[in-house]
Amino acid sequence: MGNGIEDWFERQQAAKQNRLDKCQNKRAFTSEAEARAHAAADRAQFGDRFTPYRCDLCGDWHLTRSDS
């Protein structure tokens, strides 16, 4: 069995990499206005409601279906 802090660190790194992988697979927008424009176009075309959010990993804007 490994050291507790080393195991914790490995889990944290794996979680961060998982988030980075997900981030890189999302559309990225350089501004909130650009993200909102795409969200409105997606809603008009597909009926899905998206909310823009600033990504704490890459600093760009992404869209989410959740309200938070």
Residue 63: closest CA among 11, 42, 7, 16: 42
pLDDT given for residue 52 in this prediction: 95
Question: Which residue ranges make up each domain of the chain?
Answer: 23-68
pLDDT given for residue 44 in this prediction: 86
Phi-psi region of 10 (alpha: psi -120 to 50; beta: other; left: phi over 0): alpha
pTM score: 0.68
- pLDDT confidence of 22, banded at 50, 70, 90? confident
Q: Decide which of 37 and 17 is more confident.
A: 37
Secondary structure element (H or E) that encloses residue 62, with its range: strand 61-64
The CB-side HSE value for 28 (13 A sphere, CA atoms) comes to: 12
Summarize pLDDT for 27-56 with one digit per residue, the tens.
Answer: 999 999 999 999 999 888 888 789 999 998
Rounded CA-CA distance 63/49 in Å is: 9
